[in-house]
Amino acid sequence: MTNPAAIGQPLDRVDGPLKVTGRATYAAEHAFDQPPLIGWMVEATIPAGRIKRLDTGAAEASPGVAAVLTHHNAPAQTPFGEPDDKGRFTQSRAMLFDEHIRYHGFPVALVIADTLANARHAGALIEISYEPDEEAVTTAGEEADEVPGELDGGMEPDLFKGDFEHAYDDAEVTLDVTYTTPNQAAAAMEPHATIADFDGDQLVVYMSVQLIGPSVKALANTLKIDPDKVRVLSPYIGGGFGSKLGVHNEAILACLGALHLGRPVKVVQHRRHVFHNAPHRGNSVQRIQLGASRDGKLQAIGHESFMPMARGYEFAEPTGASARTTYRTDAIKSTHRVKSTDMPLADSCRAPGHAIGSLAFESAIDEMAYQCGQDPLAFRLGNMPDRDPGTGQPFASHDLAECLREGAEKFGWPSREPQPGSRSQGRQLIGYGVASTIRLNILVPSKTRIRLSADGTLTAWADMTDIGTGTYTILTQIAAETMGLSADRIKIELGDSRYPSSSGSGGSFGAASSGSALLNACENMRTRLLESAREQGLIGDEPADDARFENGQLILGDKTLSFTEVLNKSGAAYLETDGEVEPGDDHDNYSQHSYGAQFAEVHVDRDTGEVRVQRLLGVFSAGRILNPKTARSQLLGGMVWGLSYALLEELMLDERYGAFMNRDLAEYHLPVNRDMPTIDIHFREHPDPRSNPLGSKGIGELSICGAGAAVANAVYHATGVRVRDFPITLDKILRHLPE
């Protein structure tokens, strides 16, 4: 009988009951005998400049206030951004360091009081005057001309293949269009939150963070303390989406407060804080040039990306990734330019690169299909690559064409009217759209340790995090299958910097990396058990490969031994093994991606321009599916976000102040239930042995790539209106619809 907890089974989340009963402890919820003091962040109201005068007298005298921390009295720190030869996740993130304001919303004080209400009110009593920098840069567009050091994920900023200019000039059909995407927020449900506490002379930091190891280094570096004196815990995270990869502002502030007062301090960002005090995705301008033969063969692909970069904070998004990897072509020109701005930090947000890159690029590909007089599906299928167009590497595996074909059939694509704007029902214009989906498949070094106890239970430890994706569950399944144990015998311990160093969560690499390390640890445990059994004379010299591990037992030849028997006989209370994974040659030599094809049906109201998505369908190829239930949930979320990027999300920037004005979830529009259509998800499941020992591939960011373009392309098909300025709000359609 199949182990119901085996890999590939739709095991319910092992942490589900804890979460739905409120017993999963999120960062702000850790309980203490003495409740921690509460810190309230006071934000700068200019984009750049310096603090001229800061009067905290009234705040300090306000009821319940324990301290008001400013750059005058905050503990010593390493200057922001140092050491500059280190990555952004371990550099100093100093706060309240000097009178310098980095961006609108930058913390200028932390009020620490007995209650949130007292802290917040005292915050309003602080009087600050500024000397604004009149040269503050609060916008970025096509004028961006700085070449970033490298792109997120390690890609080169510029890629040139073949002779783009000639290929483009010689092409029979050409397209030269510019798309824009707005500033966007990760908008995790759990706001960024931290409690800083002490255990003896160790700083114990409960925070909501995706990468634990780098956070320890960043805190130690910033606060000028020994990394051994910092412990970070992050057992549960209410969504991160890149905005919690590294330490964020409230974490530094909570630590400064705790160090200053010698008492635990909790700082939870207010929802309005999060929009400036957690990283966001910068706006992009994407110029796309395509050249093709009259029969629809792509010959030249040009993609120029222009985005902001927060001054002193190196992060450049690989917006051209989709253009470099999706279609066969003779020539590619892909460049990335950034502009230093005095804006809040821009960093990873929901599939950096591909998410907004595919939004623009897959829309432009759609335009080109129409220009060539081809069905957008047929055009895509006619341009499938046989090796990575950008790098020339062979694909580890590639079934984008199969995803497109299978999806088209399931969606009913052939019933589509070729002519845009030709189908309607009452006052609703109906359109179908398609887009290719592609996302980098990454493996990063990861370690884990497991212990098999004499009572037959297994515990695994890693400083891995579960950001709500189901990591606890799939790790349980990997251990269950490999060791032949039921789920209730397995305990996965994550989110503590005392545990072995893991990949952490991000870049869709968490399951593959931490899972492969656990698989390795379990394989090592099987070897240890066999050795132990042999040493005790419990088994003979049968080849180890014949051994099976089932129901908490080791089965070899005619012997069936429970793990407990083996351990008891050896006198060991437990056995421990380590596991690890490192990306090898297959990641150097092959182009590694997950794939998919997405289809959308939209209705557009011909009177008001309102777009309502009627259905979304995706077919995805992401190697071996570890748990179809949690995998599906992740893909569902990504498709909703794709819809959201196409139609809704935009941080409204007021350039005069360098501030986002819609800093709440009433006005920063994420889809509500009623916006979400029927969503149909299918897997093409082919384990990819070049990906990692599990054969899985990254899935967390896959479906957001392409979903938005499928919606945008459906809007075009419904109306004949091509909106190149995302999101496609009704006003942008309305002006082109006849009355």
Partner 1 sequence: MKPFEYRRIHTVEEIGHDDPGQARFLAGGTNLIDLMKHEIEVPDRLLDISRLKLATLKDCENGGLRVDTLVTNTALASDPRVRKTWPLLSAALLSGATAQLRNRATTGGNLLQRTRCYYFYDTARPCNKRNPGEGCSAREGQNRIHAILGASDQCIATHPSDMAVALVALEATLTLRAADGRERELPVEELHRLPGDHPEQDTVLEPGELIVAVTLPAPQPGRQIYRKVRDRSSYAFALISVGVILQVVEGRVESVRIAFGGVAHKPWRARKAEAALLNKAPTEANFRLAAEAELVDARGYGHNDFKIPLARRTLIATLRDAAHSEEEVPT
Helix (H) or strand (E) holding 586: helix 585-589
Nearest distance from C-beta of residue 674 to partner 1, angstroms: 4
Block residue for tokens 């005292």 = 122
- Residue 337 contacts residue 308 (beta carbons within 8 Å): no
| One character per residue 62-101, x = contact with partner 1 (rule: CB under 8 A) | -x--------------------------------------
Nearest distance from C-beta of residue 647 to partner 1, angstroms: 8
Binding partner 1 by CB under 8 A: which of 427, 498, 548, 736?
427
Q: Is 147 in the site for partner 1 (CB under 8 A)?
A: no
Q: Is 615 in the site for partner 1 (CB under 8 A)?
A: no
Nearest distance from C-beta of residue 655 to partner 1, angstroms: 9
Nearest distance from C-beta of residue 351 to partner 1, angstroms: 22
The interface with partner 1 within residues 106-125 (CB under 8 A) comprises: 117, 120-121, 124
Name which of 274 and 519 has its Cβ closer to partner 1.
274
Name which of 127 and 607 has its Cβ closer to partner 1.
607
The span of 239-247, 405-413, 605-613, 718-726 binding partner 1 (CB under 8 A) equals 605-613
| One character per residue 40-59, x = contact with partner 1 (rule: CB under 8 A) | ---x-x--------------
The C-alpha atoms of residue 376 and residue 417 are separated, in whole angstroms, by 12
Name which of 63 and 540 has its Cβ closer to partner 1.
63
Q: Is 610 in the site for partner 1 (CB under 8 A)?
A: yes
Q: Is 61 in the site for partner 1 (CB under 8 A)?
A: no
Cα dihedral sign for 282, 283, 287, 292? positive
Name which of 386 and 739 has its Cβ closer to partner 1.
739
Q: Which residues contact 155 (CB under 8 A, 6 or more apart)?
A: 318, 321, 324, 353
Q: Out of 406, 580, 701, 739, pick the active-site residue.
A: 701
The span of 22-30, 31-39, 554-562, 725-733 binding partner 1 (CB under 8 A) equals 725-733
Q: Is 457 in the site for partner 1 (CB under 8 A)?
A: no
Name which of 189 and 666 has its Cβ closer to partner 1.
666
| One character per residue 685-714, x = contact with partner 1 (rule: CB under 8 A) | ------------------------------
Nearest distance from C-beta of residue 68 to partner 1, angstroms: 17
| One character per residue 646-685, x = contact with partner 1 (rule: CB under 8 A) | --x---xxx-xx-x-xxxx-xx-x-xxxxx----------
Name which of 471 and 644 has its Cβ closer to partner 1.
644
- Residue 210 contacts residue 467 (beta carbons within 8 Å): yes
The interface with partner 1 within residues 255-314 (CB under 8 A) comprises: none
Binding partner 1 by CB under 8 A: which of 412, 608, 678, 736?
608
Q: Is 607 in the site for partner 1 (CB under 8 A)?
A: yes
- Take residue 82 and report the two structure tokens written for it: 């140092």
Q: Is 143 in the site for partner 1 (CB under 8 A)?
A: no
Q: Is 486 in the site for partner 1 (CB under 8 A)?
A: no
Nearest distance from C-beta of residue 452 to partner 1, angstroms: 48
- Residue 37 contacts residue 112 (beta carbons within 8 Å): yes
Q: Is 26 in the site for partner 1 (CB under 8 A)?
A: no
Residue 735, SS3? coil
Nearest distance from C-beta of residue 157 to partner 1, angstroms: 32
- Residue 606 contacts residue 421 (beta carbons within 8 Å): no
Q: Is 132 in the site for partner 1 (CB under 8 A)?
A: no
- Phi-psi region at 124: left, alpha or beta (left = phi > 0; alpha = psi -120 to 50): alpha
Name which of 538 and 730 has its Cβ closer to partner 1.
730
Alpha-helix runs per DSSP H in 376-490: 376-381, 400-411, 471-483
Name which of 119 and 212 has its Cβ closer to partner 1.
119
DSSP 431-458: EEEEEEEEEE-----EEEEEEEETTS-E
Nearest distance from C-beta of residue 722 to partner 1, angstroms: 18
Nearest distance from C-beta of residue 35 to partner 1, angstroms: 20
DSSP 323-371: HHHSS--SEEEEEEEEEEESSSPB---SSTTHHHHHHHHHHHHHHHHHH
Q: Is 217 in the site for partner 1 (CB under 8 A)?
A: no
Q: Is 424 in the site for partner 1 (CB under 8 A)?
A: no
Nearest distance from C-beta of residue 281 to partner 1, angstroms: 19
Q: Is 609 in the site for partner 1 (CB under 8 A)?
A: yes
Say which DSSP state 291 is in: E
- Phi-psi region at 48: left, alpha or beta (left = phi > 0; alpha = psi -120 to 50): beta
The C-alpha atoms of residue 518 and residue 475 are separated, in whole angstroms, by 7
Per-residue CA distances from 230 to 251, 254, 344, 402 (Å): 12, 13, 27, 50
Classify strands 553-556 and 548-550 as parallel, antiparallel or unpaired. antiparallel
CB atoms within 10 A of CB 31: 7
Nearest distance from C-beta of residue 47 to partner 1, angstroms: 12
Q: Is 730 in the site for partner 1 (CB under 8 A)?
A: yes
Name which of 155 and 343 has its Cβ closer to partner 1.
343
Name which of 428 and 564 has its Cβ closer to partner 1.
428
Name which of 37 and 737 has its Cβ closer to partner 1.
737
Q: Is 52 exposed, middle or buried (0-12, 13-18, 19+ CB in 10 A)?
A: exposed
Say which DSSP state 545 is in: G
156 catalytically annotated = no
Q: Which residues contact 220 (CB under 8 A, 6 or more apart)?
A: 226, 227, 229, 230
Q: How far apart are the first and last CA of the chain?
A: 65
Q: Which amino acid is at 630?
A: T
- Residue 46 contacts residue 132 (beta carbons within 8 Å): yes
- Take residue 117 and report the two structure tokens written for it: 């209400």
Q: Which of 612, 657, 592, 281 is nearest to 428 (CA)?
A: 612
- Point out which residues bind partner 1 (CB under 8 A): 43, 45, 63, 117, 120-121, 124, 427, 607-610, 612, 648, 652-654, 656-657, 659, 661-664, 666-667, 669, 671-675, 729-731, 734-735, 739
Residues recognised as catalytic: 701
